[in-house]
Chain A
Amino acid sequence: MYAQMIKSEASKDDPEKLAEFQAKIDADIKVEPRDWMPEGYRKTLIRQIGQHAHSEIVGQLPEGNWITRAPTLERKMILLAKVQDEAGHGLYLYAAAETLGVSRDELTEMLLDGRMKYSSIFNYPTLNWADIGAVGWLVDGAAIMNQVPLQRTSYGPYSRAMIRICKEESFHQRQGYDIMMKMAQGTEAQKKMAQDALNRLWYPSLMMFGPSDAESVHSTQNMAWKIKMNTNDELRQKFVDQTVPQAEYLGLTIPDENLKWNEDKGGYDYSDPDWTEFFNVLKGNGPCNTDRLEARNKAWDDGAWVRDGLMAHAEKKRAAKTAAE
């Protein structure tokens, strides 16, 4: 979700060990850091968990954009707490990725120089206050849709991180929906802002589930290894079915003329997002890609002396303590 277009790796490992590993996966036994695992499994997970972590970190930027401009003190405090939660989620996920033998600084450097991705959604701007509501409602809603099944993913540390994160994401979604309710039941101008936010964020939210199953070449291996539990289209359909009634309750319109209840499949028919746009955003050509990476790079570079200073101080203290003993 927050991890899109994850390439899976073919394994060149010993077939006997591979079969043993697959049997363990099939028996729903969690894989733990010190267990044997195929190189492809390890690499795919580093990519997926790393990208998920990066998304939490970059995802602080579009919301952080409105902290100083939140319309009431209560909303400002809620938003601050939420952005703090996202930082914590990034931390849990980096820690899970590190159990696979990669360091957090290495992952960070790969994000900063564009070798690793983060979710396409965070390359869209937050243009009005209602966007903060829509991000909570739709973006966190889509994230939950994907992360709830990931609580059962085969790699233990990832699954445990997801359990912690899902609890907090559901607070965020409710907070977002609450903003949307206030806006949708408010003045004409507020309602217009809410509709505008939904119009702009609807398709980017659908894109969060990744390309359609027909094009998602990496799904099969990832599903066999139970890194991924559902296909992109399954989750997208579930998200649409859950979200449409929520929009109706708000009295807002989903910006899709083809949206229609389909009695036979027991779900909505809907239009796919513009996949050309999706691949463009992933390639780095979305509305905010450059800004987001610049902001992260600037924070990393400008903060270097602080990180080094803290480390030097810690070493000095350690040396003084040893000398005193």
Chain B
Amino acid sequence: MSKEWPLWEIFIRGQHGLSHRHVGSLHAPDAEMAIKNARDVYTRRNEGVSIWVVEANNISASSPSEKGPLYEPSESKVYRHPTFFDIPDEVGHM
């Protein structure tokens, strides 16, 4: 029996970080070993205080060829960006 260890994606929340950030990946037989190895490889110099590991085949990603249709709505829908309202000076900071 010889099987390749699965790939895990590693997310770390920094000391003062608000969210977990993807930092890299590694191979490990199970989640517990993945966390141990991530601790050794990715937090050796105080990079963070919380680790998430996710087996890579559990991640679905958007496709680069869909870039246009996927993100276009955020650009063309101006009414979602409330940056153009005129607030009278008398009202003060809002």
Contacts and interface: CB of A to CB of B under 8 A. Distances in A.
A311 B44 contact: no
Contacts of A85: 44
Given A104-B4, A307-B5, A35 B64 contact: yes
Interface stretch (A66-74, A142-150, A243-251, A312-320): A312-320
A11 interface: no
A308 B29 CA distance: 9
Given A84-B44, A95-B24, A105 B30 contact: no
Contacts of B40: 84, 88
A32 B64 contact: yes
A88 B44 contact: yes
B91 interface: no
A285 interface: no
A304 interface: yes
B52 to A, nearest CB: 16
B26 A91 contact: yes
A299 interface: no
A115 interface: no
Contact of B41 (A88, A310, A314): A88
Given A35-B64, A91-B41, A92-B24, A314 B29 contact: yes
A318 B2 CA distance: 18
Contacts of B44: 84-85, 88
B50 interface: no
A85 to B, nearest CB: 8
Interface in A55-112: 84-85, 88, 91-92, 95, 98, 103-105
Contact of A95 (B3, B25, B64): B25
Contacts of A84: 40, 44
B25 A308 contact: no
Contacts of A317: 30
Nearest to B7: A98
A186 B61 CA distance: 58
A12 interface: no
B70 interface: no
A34 interface: yes
B1 interface: yes
Interface string B17-42: 00000001111011001000000110
B33 to A, nearest CB: 7
A308 B7 contact: no
29 contacts: A34-B61, A36-B64, A84-B44, A85-B44, A88-B40, A88-B41, A88-B44, A91-B24, A91-B41, A92-B24, A95-B25, A95-B26, A98-B7, A105-B4, A164-B24, A307-B5, A308-B1, A308-B3, A310-B5, A310-B29, A310-B30, A310-B33, A311-B3, A311-B5, A311-B29, A313-B29, A313-B30, A314-B29, A314-B33
The 7 closest A-B pairs by CB, nearest first: A314-B30, A314-B29, A310-B29, A95-B25, A105-B4, A88-B41, A311-B29
